Amino acid sequence: MEPDTQLSSVASALAGSDGAPGAGPEPLRGRRIGGTLSPLLRWETGLVVLLIGVVIFGLDTSSAFTSDSYLFSQVLGGQVGEIALMTLPMALIIITGEIDLSVASTAGMASSLMGYLFMHHWSIALIFVTVLAMGAVAGAFNGFLVTRVGLPSLAVTIGTLTLYRGIAIGILGANTYSTFPTFWTNIGVNPVPGLPFMSWAFLIFLVMAALVGIVLHMTPLGRTLFAIGANREAAQFAGIRVKRTKFMLYTFSGVVCAFVGILLTFRLNTAVSNNAYGLELTVVATALLGGISIFGGKGTIVGVLLANLVFAGIEGALYLTTGFNESAFPIVTGGLLLASVLIPNFPELRRRAREAVHRRRRLHGAAPSVEQGVSR
Amino acid sequence: MSTAATAETQPREEPTNQTRFVDLALRARTFGIVGVLGLVVLVTTSIQSRFLSSNDVQFILSGAAIYAVMAVGEAMVIVTRNVDLSVGSVAGLSAFVCAGLFHELPGIPTVAVFAIGALLGGGCGLITGLLSAICRIPSLVVTLAMLWIVRSVDVLLVGGAQVTAGQVPRSFLLIFYDTIPGIGVPDIAVGAAVLAVAVYFYMSSFRSGRDLYAIGSDPDAARLAGIPIAKRITTAFVMSGALAGIAGVLYASQIGTIDSTAATGYELQVIASVVIGGVAIFGGSGNVIGAALGALLLGTITSALYTLGVNQNWDEAFQGLLIILAITLDRGIQAQLASALRRRRVRLGA
């Protein structure tokens, strides 16, 4: 009993529930919109409009924005594909009402381990297997602490964020390794043959997004994740193995992040302990902008895909804008994140403001109006 | 909800067996941190006697004081079942603005600089609090956005510039190192301790302070009890911001040379301190003294590992293990408490 209540309260803890009537697992958005499909349509449509706006803004700044080389070098290349890959398991985990803040540290740890193993002349195949296995172990450890020990995932993954980064530092220390075989480092430098604007990492992301999207939206397993996020107890009583499912998601997250660590190391041609430092919050923000509800139980992979494109597009467009300090890009990310939660909340806010006015009127002794009865 | 929360919200009742037992257990939680702290110091000193040399102790205390000040504010927020991820950015902004003041307004009194730091931080906290409490946006999302927005404002303000140690008065740089004559305890450590005790007193003895626990234990019940939830949560965020602002000024005093990356990543360290200090991450239980001690414990362990000659590279890994250990331990204690309480209730026929 006790662990269950604790666990289920994580979602509301994350949500910073302030006791709205019907706060907690109540969905953040979509409540006021009728129909089952329309809330999804609305969110993704908004993102599409935003994306079109970004492209227009980019083209307006410079016609080079949509050129193959620019798309590859500043929009879809770089770390965009790597971040995007990590948003997939993050989306799944947030849908089940948990969170994983250790993703970037896991990638960093993978990068460190890879450098270490290369230094010790292991064979490439063995290195890949070992690094991915380490990712699985890292994810499974998170999953174990969250599901079996029953700790809140926010606290656990802040702990493992420090732990895994610590192990990354421990493995390599101040050393760097940067003599990887060119065959592999080329995948980070060159676009996909035949698609001159596409980086390998982003292509892998697209393929994986399709797979994850199919599993999430078209299979019983996917429905299970939504069920867990919507109501953990109900899911449990419906015979869903909640703990095992979450455990598997964390393990999946660990493997994907380790894979990202490999991609990142090859792209930079450097294994160093602070690789991927601080990316976890970008990953979370992208998932949230993609319409994944922080309360769990809601969201689509299409939204996540669009959010990744929006963020990549904005950054690419801002690079073209002269006179904008690129270290200040996060102001756009932050503003967008705020807007993405504020705007869907407006109808709810207006309703509550109206209620507050009524309440005050009643307190001041005015005759209760007819509207008041209606609004209740 | 949790038993710990039950105890925290009932201390004004007649001390029955039940409340006395739970009170004791909760106090033991804070004593537990002191115990671990003592153990770390004892073990380290027995191996390497120079660990307790006054310089080391002063450095540990001063360094931990900055985190402790932020942890006190963060604990106030976490008790209400919210979280503030923006403290690192707020401290960074405050550090730059305040250190810059010495340059732009020569002769400005240090007290005024601290006040401006607190106001600046409090302003950021007010925005966060209003967005979170009035607009009902989950605090994790708001403060994540604020983390970036405030940091970007800092970047735009700073540009490529920086405040160097030469531009601030020497007396300001000494604030971090000044000690109370005779005892040798750093001023700012004493300040942080006084702050923690004062906020502890406020949160345990004032109605508005108790409200924070009530909100964190059960928001719905708190609302039905007529607690002005939005106001209290906003207050907690303003406090957290103001204290982060003050910590930023202290950071400027410690480091001297400030650019736009000041205090980056402090937020997770601060939350770790709060969690180690026994404040439940989903609110309703724990106290700020524990949070401040959590910061001290983290600082002491880092220093102890260094003194013991443990490879510095493994510091952060140890810290991570410690955080996980602390929350696991807390979980165990809470489970024990819950079953003990249940047995007691059965016996009392409640």
Q: State chain B's mean pLDDT as an integer.
A: 85
Provide the residue range defining the domain that includes A194: 2-14+37-324
Same domain, A130 and A99: yes
B159–A325: do the CB atoms touch at under 8 Å? yes
Same domain, A218 and A98: yes
Residue of chain A whose Cα is closest to the Cα of B281: A155
* pLDDT at res. B216: 93
Please indicate, yes or no, if residue A279 is contained in any of the structural domains. Answer: yes
A138 touches chain B (CB under 8 A): no
pLDDT (average), residues A182-195:
89
Same domain, A299 and A279: yes
Same domain, A171 and A88: yes
Same domain, A123 and A65: yes
In this model, does residue B150 exceed pLDDT 50? Answer: yes
* pLDDT at res. B117: 96
Percent of chain A with pLDDT over 90: 54
Judging contacts by C-beta atoms under 8 Å, the chain A residues touching residue B127 are none
A10 versus A310: the higher-pLDDT residue is A310
In this model, does residue A367 exceed pLDDT 60? Answer: no
Domain final residue, candidates A306, A324, A342: A324
Judging contacts by C-beta atoms under 8 Å, the chain B residues touching residue A28 are 138
B28 versus B156: the higher-pLDDT residue is B156
In chain A, residues 315-354 whose CB comes closer than 8 Å to chain B: 325, 327-331, 333-335, 337-338, 341-342, 345, 348-349
Q: How confident is the model at residue B319 (pLDDT cuts 50, 70, 90)?
A: confident
In this model, does residue A258 exceed pLDDT 60? Answer: yes
Is there a contact between B64 and B296 (Cβ–Cβ < 8 Å)? yes
Domain ranges of chain B: 3-348
- Give the residue from A105, A112, A148, A158 with the most B CB atoms within 10 Å of its CB, the best one to mutate: A158
DSSP B275-338: HHTT--TTSS---HHHHHHHHHHHHHHHHHHHHTT--GGGHHHHHHHHHHHHHHHHHHHHHHHH
In this model, does residue B209 exceed pLDDT 80? Answer: yes
Same domain, A149 and A199: yes
B260–A327: do the CB atoms touch at under 8 Å? yes
Same domain, A218 and A343: no
In chain A, residues 74-133 whose CB comes closer than 8 Å to chain B: none
What gap in Å lies between CA A177 and CA A110, rounded to an integer?
Answer: 13
Q: How confident is the model at residue A347 (pLDDT cuts 50, 70, 90)?
A: confident
Q: How many CB pairs under 8 A join A and B?
A: 202
Is there a contact between A335 and A314 (Cβ–Cβ < 8 Å)? no
What are the tens digits of pLDDT across the range A37-66?
Answer: 555 557 888 899 999 999 999 898 888 888
Beta carbons within 10 angstroms of residue A224's beta carbon: 19
- Give the residue from A2, A7, A10, A18 with the most B CB atoms within 10 Å of its CB, the best one to mutate: A18
In this model, does residue A28 exceed pLDDT 80? Answer: no
**Amino acid identity for residue A257 in this structure:** C
In this model, does residue A10 exceed pLDDT 60? Answer: no
Same domain, A268 and A173: yes
What are the tens digits of pLDDT across the range B267-288?
Answer: 888 998 998 888 888 888 888 9
Closest CA to A18 of B26, B130, B345: B130
* pLDDT at res. B276: 86
What gap in Å lies between CA A301 and CA B33, rounded to an integer?
Answer: 44
What gap in Å lies between CA A94 and CA A230, rounded to an integer?
Answer: 11
B136–A161: do the CB atoms touch at under 8 Å? no
A153 touches chain B (CB under 8 A): no
Please indicate, yes or no, if residue A30 is contained in any of the structural domains. Answer: no
What are the tens digits of pLDDT across the range A130-160?
Answer: 999 999 999 999 999 999 999 989 889 989 9
Q: How many domains does chain A have?
A: 2
Beta strands in A97-169 (DSSP E): none
What gap in Å lies between CA A309 and CA A202, rounded to an integer?
Answer: 10
Same domain, A163 and A303: yes
Q: How confident is the model at residue A12 (pLDDT cuts 50, 70, 90)?
A: very low
Same domain, A366 and A240: no
What gap in Å lies between CA A162 and CA B69, rounded to an integer?
Answer: 21
Is there a contact between A278 and B265 (Cβ–Cβ < 8 Å)? yes
Q: How confident is the model at residue A8 (pLDDT cuts 50, 70, 90)?
A: very low
Judging contacts by C-beta atoms under 8 Å, the chain A residues touching residue B153 are 331
Closest CA to A200 of A67, A303, A84: A84
Judging contacts by C-beta atoms under 8 Å, the chain B residues touching residue A173 are 311, 313
Query: Residue with structure tokens 């009932």?
Result: B10
Please indicate, yes or no, if residue A82 is contained in any of the structural domains. Answer: yes
* pLDDT at res. A365: 63
Percent of chain B with pLDDT over 70: 91
A41 touches chain B (CB under 8 A): no
What gap in Å lies between CA A260 and CA A270, rounded to an integer?
Answer: 14
- Widest pairwise Cα distance in chain B: 70
What gap in Å lies between CA B81 and CA B243, rounded to an integer?
Answer: 19
Please indicate, yes or no, if residue A189 is contained in any of the structural domains. Answer: yes
Judging contacts by C-beta atoms under 8 Å, the chain A residues touching residue B138 are 14-17, 28, 294-295, 341
Domain B3-348 has CATH 1.10.3470: yes
Residue of chain B whose Cα is closest to the Cα of A99: B140
* pLDDT at res. A29: 37
What gap in Å lies between CA B229 and CA B243, rounded to an integer?
Answer: 21
What are the tens digits of pLDDT across the range A275-320?
Answer: 998 898 889 989 999 999 888 899 999 999 999 999 999 988 888 8
Contacts of B278 (CB under 8 A, 6+ apart): B29, B30, B32, B33, B285, B286, B287, B290, B291, B294, B326, B330
* pLDDT at res. A99: 94
* pLDDT at res. A22: 36
Judging contacts by C-beta atoms under 8 Å, the chain B residues touching residue A341 are 137-138, 141-142
Domain final residue, candidates A324, A340, A362: A324
In chain A, residues 288-307 whose CB comes closer than 8 Å to chain B: 288, 294-295
CATH at residue A148: 1.10.3470
Both tokens of residue A18?
């302030």
**Amino acid identity for residue A237 in this structure:** F
A163–B320: do the CB atoms touch at under 8 Å? yes
In Å, what is the CA distance from A351 to each residue of A31, A210, A231, A358? 13, 39, 26, 11
pLDDT (average), residues A23-44:
49
Q: State chain A's mean pLDDT as an integer.
A: 84
Same domain, A193 and A275: yes
* pLDDT at res. B159: 77
Q: How confident is the model at residue B27 (pLDDT cuts 50, 70, 90)?
A: low
